[in-house]
């Protein structure tokens, strides 16, 4: 079913992070304030939103300051080693991994070591060889929370990196994956979905996704997405006065994005909320429970409508009172002038 053909109202928002009203993280987490808030015309209606298009410069780094510091245990002592932020191919990342460990050991302990990586494209595995080191020396990068991102990238999946002068060669146990982020999730902190199973209890990592965008270009290119028939997300907002958008990948929140992204969102208002209650056909409840849910939803909507009507009455009375006061004041001033 084409939702737009059943839309009561339709809104299109063109948003560019360079023009955001509030910025939490530059070019990746921004909020736009709407000068004219979008409101439901009936408590029985609801909003739906979908991502129509997105243009995102591929300038964010998959190796970044959230994951590029690793803990290295050596015969001389334990040190933290930082790999420069960036997007790598496997040869460059494996080389940087070895060079930074070698440089840190030399700088801190004055010990000369050399580790040489060799990548096998047929197997997608990397072999590391300790070719120079004092007799009895060892270097280990244990698979733990601090080290796992870099180790996974170079093919060590739940597997420790350990080389010694006695066992100088070690081969990764999994295929390398230097660019694990294959798509971008466009999320919102305030357009809260009401149709996902997770959102029934509390917001979670899947209930705030507006759309997924495949990374379809190389670094420093532009990631482009356009789909006029993208899927709809039912949201629980009754009033939309601001729109937050933030970007994540499988690596977590996107950071170090030097250029802004732009988006096109379509928001529609559709009616007959109780007739399209998502849980009704879910198979999670008995018929009596479904009827009870619909009954509670109807009561809730009736209560909201009643409160809206009472609020409007109070606003009208206050407006009339203010107009009457202004009219009285004007009359008094006119009499004084006479």
pLDDT tens digits for 260-275? 999 999 999 998 644 4
Residue 310 lies in a domain: yes
Q: What is the CATH number of the domain that holds 259?
A: 2.60.120
Q: Lowest mean pLDDT of 151-160, 186-195, 237-246, name the range.
A: 186-195
Domain presence at residue 119: yes
Instruction: Band the pLDDT of 135: cuts 50, 70, 90.
Output: very high
Same domain, 79 and 165: yes
Residue 58 lies in a domain: yes
Query: Is residue 150 situated within a structural domain?
Result: yes
43, 189: one domain: yes
> Residues with Cβ < 8 Å from 33, sequence gap 6 or more?
21, 22, 241, 242
Indicate the pLDDT class of residue 206, thresholds 50, 70 and 90. Answer: low
In degrees rounded to 5, what are phi and psi of residue 252? Answer: 115, -160
Which range, 111-125, 202-216, 277-291, 294-308, is most confident? 111-125
Same domain for 133 and 205, yes or no, is no
The pLDDT score that the predictor gives to residue 195 is 63
48 and 86 together in one domain: no
The domain boundary, picked from 276, 293, 317, lies at 276
pTM of this structure: 0.70
What's the confidence (pLDDT) of residue 144?
97
Q: Which of residues 171, 190, 216 is at a domain's end?
A: 171
Specify if 176 maps to a domain.
no
What integer best gives the mean pLDDT of the chain?
A: 87
Shared domain check, 186 and 55: yes
End residue of a domain, out of 122, 140, 171:
171
> Does 124 map to a domain?
yes
Q: Among 258, 257, 206, 208, which residue's Cα sits nearest to residue 237? A: 208
* Same-domain check for residues 210 and 298: no
Question: Of 188 and 336, which is predicted with more confidence?
Answer: 188
Hey, how many other C-beta atoms are within 10 angstroms of the C-beta on 252? Answer: 12
Examine the domain organization and report whether 208 and 122 are in the same domain.
Answer: no
pLDDT, residue 57, reads: 94
Asked if residue 165 belongs to a domain, the reply is yes
Sorting pLDDT into bands at 50, 70 and 90, what band is 115? Answer: very high
**Domains identified in the chain, total number:** 3
Model confidence at 66: pLDDT above 80: yes
Q: Is the dihedral of CA 49, 54, 60, 61 positive or negative?
A: positive
Query: Taking residues 328-333, what's their average pLDDT?
Result: 62
Distance CA 208, CA 251 (A): 17
Query: Is residue 193 assigned to a domain?
Result: yes
Whether the predicted pLDDT of 203 surpasses 60: no
Residues 46, 192 within the same domain? yes
pLDDT of 21 = 96
User: What confidence tier does 284 reach under pLDDT thresholds 50, 70, 90?
Assistant: low
Asked if 98 contacts 259 with a C-beta cutoff of 8 angstroms, the reply is no
Between CA 93 and CA 80 the distance in angstroms is: 17
Residue 165 has pLDDT above 90, yes or no: yes
Greater confidence, 216 or 107?
Answer: 107
> Is residue 41 domain-shared with residue 20, that is, in the same domain?
yes
pLDDT at 34: 95
Mean pLDDT, residues 79-84: 97
How confident is the model over 223-245, as pLDDT tens digits? 999 998 888 999 989 999 999 99
- 74 and 166 belong to one structural domain: yes
Q: Are residues 46 and 185 in the same domain?
A: yes
Note down the domain range covering 335.
Answer: 277-338
Whether residue 243 sits in one domain with residue 270: yes
C-alpha 93/C-alpha 216 separation (Å) is 21
pLDDT above 80 for 305:
no
């Amino acid at each position: 079913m084409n939702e737009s053909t059943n839309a009561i109202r339709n809104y299109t928002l063109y948003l560019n992070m360079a023009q955001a009203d509030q910025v939490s993280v530059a070019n990746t987490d921004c909020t736009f304030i709407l000068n004219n808030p979008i409101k439901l015309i009936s408590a029985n209606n609801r909003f739906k939103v979908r991502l129509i298009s997105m243009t995102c410069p591929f300038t964010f780094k998959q190796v970044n300051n959230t994951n590029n510091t690793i803990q290295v245990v050596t015969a001389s002592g334990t040190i933290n080693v930082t790999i420069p932020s960036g997007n790598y191919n496997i040869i460059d990342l494996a080389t940087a991994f070895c060079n930074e460990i070698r440089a840190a050991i030399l700088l801190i302990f004055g010990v000369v070591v050399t580790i040489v990586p060799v990548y096998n494209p047929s197997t997608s595995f990397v072999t590391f060889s300790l070719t120079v080191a004092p007799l009895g020396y060892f270097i280990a990068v244990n698979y733990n929370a601090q080290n796992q991102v870099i180790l996974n990238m170079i093919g060590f999946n739940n597997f420790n990196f350990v080389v010694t002068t006695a066992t100088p060669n070690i081969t990764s146990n999994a295929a390398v994956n230097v660019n694990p982020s294959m798509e971008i999730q466009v999320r919102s902190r305030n357009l809260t979905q009401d149709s996902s199973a997770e959102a029934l209890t509390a917001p979670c990592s899947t209930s705030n996704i507006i759309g997924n965008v495949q990374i379809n270009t190389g670094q420093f290119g532009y990631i482009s997405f356009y789909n006029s028939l993208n899927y709809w997300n039912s949201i629980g907002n009754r009033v939309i006065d601001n729109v937050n958008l933030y970007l994540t990948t499988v690596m977590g929140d996107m950071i170090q994005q030097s250029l802004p992204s732009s988006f096109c969102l379509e928001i529609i208002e559709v009616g007959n909320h109780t007739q399209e209650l998502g849980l009704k056909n879910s198979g999670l409840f008995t018929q009596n429970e479904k009827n009870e849910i619909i009954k509670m939803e109807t009561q809730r909507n009736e209560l909201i409508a009643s409160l809206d009507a009472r609020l409007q009455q109070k606003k009208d009375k206050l407006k009339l009172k203010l107009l009457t006061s202004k009219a009285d004041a004007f009359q008094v001033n006119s009499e004084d002038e006479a």
